[in-house]
Amino acid sequence: MIVELMEVPAEEHDEQWLKNALQQAVMLELATLPPYLCGLWSIEDSDRDADVAATIEAIIFDEMSHMGLVCNMLTTIGGVPRIADEKLVPKYPSTLPGGVRPELTVFLAGLTKQSLDMYSQIERPDDPVVERREKQTSIGAFYTAVLEAFRNHQHLISGTRQVIRIMSAFGKGNDVVALKTFGDVEAAIRIIKGQGEGTATSPANPFPGPPGELAHFYSFREIFHGRKLIAVSEDPKTFDFQGPEIPMPKPLLPMATVPKGGWAQGGVPVSSEVRKLLDTFNHHYSSLLEFLEQAWEVEQQSVATQLLKKAVDQMRKLREPAQELMRIPLPDGSGKTYGPEFLYIKSMT
């Protein structure tokens, strides 16, 4: 548990602590993707080019690169990321892996004010420049502790089993690069923290895609409030959501919240059509996770690259069955629809 790891005195952050922390970080990065993807996919194709869809899509690509960088952090010190593991793969609804923000329930549903609030709480910095609240253990604080452990144990960095993928087309700093020195690790953690939380004095993403892009927390809060975040005072520098309106995409596919364990496990009737779509989706998702795990297990860079390509191919196959599910009404007359469960089924490849 991340909370438990953070309670260990800094002088005891040894090699095993670092490996445990990075494994938790892999699952933490993975856990953000299904909720964000459900929100993105619930935006009808006709509105996919709108600002909201583009913003969420950019954040998803950031999170993918973050997960890749964390996997490289673990393998550079001799660890092996466990990704396709029934006991570890995030389940929904639930808390975040590792116990970060234990008061927050992470769920799968379409894009709503409630889901947007949840997205932003996942990304909340220790001390945001707007909507300040009592400090809690944040993802950023956790990564700071990981960086200090690397600083104190630089001899562990060997550059082994590093997977590389060029993703800078989706944003500055998004490349998954080899981490062979402490400087490489420090730069990677700076990107992960900066893209998610901004800085202590600015909401801007210091490693943006388009100019003016905000860090994830502030991007999600803008959509939640329906207003751009702007500076309202220069001395002292203060910000508020008083800028131009940000309309919610319309129409939205009204995906309901997936019950614990999936639709059938939650007592929702599942037709043969729905079952087929759910099985198709879960098959591709399971294959995706297995290819990712294998990519960081092999020694040969060329083989790892091919495995990562296979994982990306599986990722591309998720959207169609997900949106088909989001167009099938639930039988309860609520007007809500089904959606993907993101269930990992072992040995699907």
Q: What pLDDT, on the 0 to 100 scale, is given for residue 279?
A: 97
Q: Is the peptide bond before 251 cis (omega within 30 degrees of 0)?
A: yes
Of 181, 269, 201, 207, the residue nearest 65 (C-alpha): 207
Of 53, 298, 62, 306, the residue nearest 188 (C-alpha): 62
204-239 tens-digit pLDDT = 999 988 888 999 999 999 999 999 999 999 888 899
More confident residue, 332 or 348: 332
19-53 tens-digit pLDDT = 999 999 999 999 999 999 999 999 987 655 578 99
List CB contacts of 260: < 8 A, sequence separation 6 or more.
91, 92, 93, 94, 266
Q: What pLDDT, on the 0 to 100 scale, is given for residue 131?
A: 80
Instruction: Determine the topology of domain 2-257 in CATH.
Output: Ferritin (1.20.1260)
309-324 tens-digit pLDDT = 999 999 999 999 999 9
What are the domain boundaries of the chain? 2-257
274-297 tens-digit pLDDT = 999 999 999 999 999 999 999 999
Q: If 0-12 CB within 10 Å is exposed, 13-18 middle and 19+ buried, where does residue 200 land? A: exposed
Burial letters 152-181, b for 16+ CB under 10 A, else e = ebeebbeeebbbebebeebbebbbbbbbee
